[in-house]
Amino acid sequence: MNAAQCRAARALLDWTQPRLAEAAGIGLSTVVDFEKGRRAVSAEAIGKMSTALREAGIEFTNGGDPGGVRLALIGQ
Protein backbone atom coordinates (compact mmCIF):
# COMPACT_ATOMS: atom_id res chain seq x y z
CA MET A 1 0.00 0.00 0.00
CA ASN A 2 1.23 3.47 -0.81
CA ALA A 3 0.19 6.82 0.64
CA ALA A 4 -2.24 7.62 -2.18
CA GLN A 5 -3.97 4.26 -1.75
CA CYS A 6 -4.25 4.88 1.98
CA ARG A 7 -5.89 8.28 1.46
CA ALA A 8 -8.24 6.87 -1.20
CA ALA A 9 -9.22 3.93 0.99
CA ARG A 10 -10.02 6.24 3.89
CA ALA A 11 -12.12 8.39 1.57
CA LEU A 12 -14.11 5.37 0.38
CA LEU A 13 -14.81 4.42 3.98
CA ASP A 14 -15.35 8.02 5.08
CA TRP A 15 -12.68 7.47 7.76
CA THR A 16 -10.59 10.18 9.33
CA GLN A 17 -6.91 9.72 10.05
CA PRO A 18 -7.66 9.26 13.77
CA ARG A 19 -10.19 6.53 12.91
CA LEU A 20 -7.59 4.65 10.87
CA ALA A 21 -4.99 5.05 13.61
CA GLU A 22 -7.43 3.61 16.16
CA ALA A 23 -8.44 0.71 13.92
CA ALA A 24 -4.82 -0.12 13.14
CA GLY A 25 -3.64 0.25 16.74
CA ILE A 26 -0.97 2.78 15.85
CA GLY A 27 -0.33 6.43 16.63
CA LEU A 28 -2.04 9.20 14.72
CA SER A 29 1.32 10.75 13.84
CA THR A 30 2.27 7.53 12.02
CA VAL A 31 -0.79 7.76 9.76
CA VAL A 32 -0.25 11.47 9.13
CA ASP A 33 3.47 11.06 8.42
CA PHE A 34 2.86 8.11 6.09
CA GLU A 35 0.19 9.89 4.07
CA LYS A 36 2.24 13.10 3.80
CA GLY A 37 5.56 11.36 3.18
CA ARG A 38 7.17 13.15 6.12
CA ARG A 39 9.25 10.17 7.21
CA ALA A 40 9.78 6.51 6.52
CA VAL A 41 7.12 4.46 8.28
CA SER A 42 7.86 0.88 9.28
CA ALA A 43 6.57 -2.00 7.19
CA GLU A 44 4.82 -3.24 10.33
CA ALA A 45 2.83 0.00 10.69
CA ILE A 46 1.91 0.01 6.99
CA GLY A 47 0.80 -3.60 7.35
CA LYS A 48 -1.40 -2.71 10.31
CA MET A 49 -3.03 0.13 8.37
CA SER A 50 -3.54 -2.11 5.34
CA THR A 51 -5.06 -4.86 7.46
CA ALA A 52 -7.45 -2.44 9.18
CA LEU A 53 -8.59 -1.08 5.82
CA ARG A 54 -9.03 -4.58 4.36
CA GLU A 55 -11.05 -5.67 7.38
CA ALA A 56 -13.29 -2.64 6.82
CA GLY A 57 -14.00 -3.73 3.24
CA ILE A 58 -11.22 -2.23 1.13
CA GLU A 59 -9.64 -4.20 -1.68
CA PHE A 60 -6.30 -3.10 -3.08
CA THR A 61 -6.03 -3.50 -6.85
CA ASN A 62 -3.25 -3.69 -9.44
CA GLY A 63 -0.99 -5.36 -6.92
CA GLY A 64 1.65 -2.70 -6.65
CA ASP A 65 2.69 0.87 -6.98
CA PRO A 66 0.80 2.62 -8.39
CA GLY A 67 -2.22 0.66 -7.41
CA GLY A 68 -5.84 1.33 -6.85
CA VAL A 69 -8.43 0.71 -4.19
CA ARG A 70 -12.09 -0.21 -4.22
CA LEU A 71 -14.74 -1.39 -1.85
CA ALA A 72 -14.83 -5.17 -1.87
CA LEU A 73 -17.96 -6.78 -3.19
CA ILE A 74 -19.63 -8.54 -0.28
CA GLY A 75 -20.36 -12.21 -0.94
CA GLN A 76 -18.29 -12.40 -4.12
DSSP string over 14-62: T--HHHHHHHHTS-HHHHHHHHHT-S---HHHHHHHHHHHHHTTEEEES
3-state secondary structure of 66: coil
Q: What is the CATH number of domain 3-71?
A: 1.10.260.40
Domains of the chain by residue range: 3-71
pLDDT bracket for residue 71 (50, 70, 90): confident
Q: Is residue 76 pLDDT above 50, yes or no?
A: no
pLDDT at 64: 57
Residue 17 to residues 2, 30, 31, 64: CA-CA distances in angstroms?
15, 10, 6, 23
* Mean pLDDT across 23-28: 98
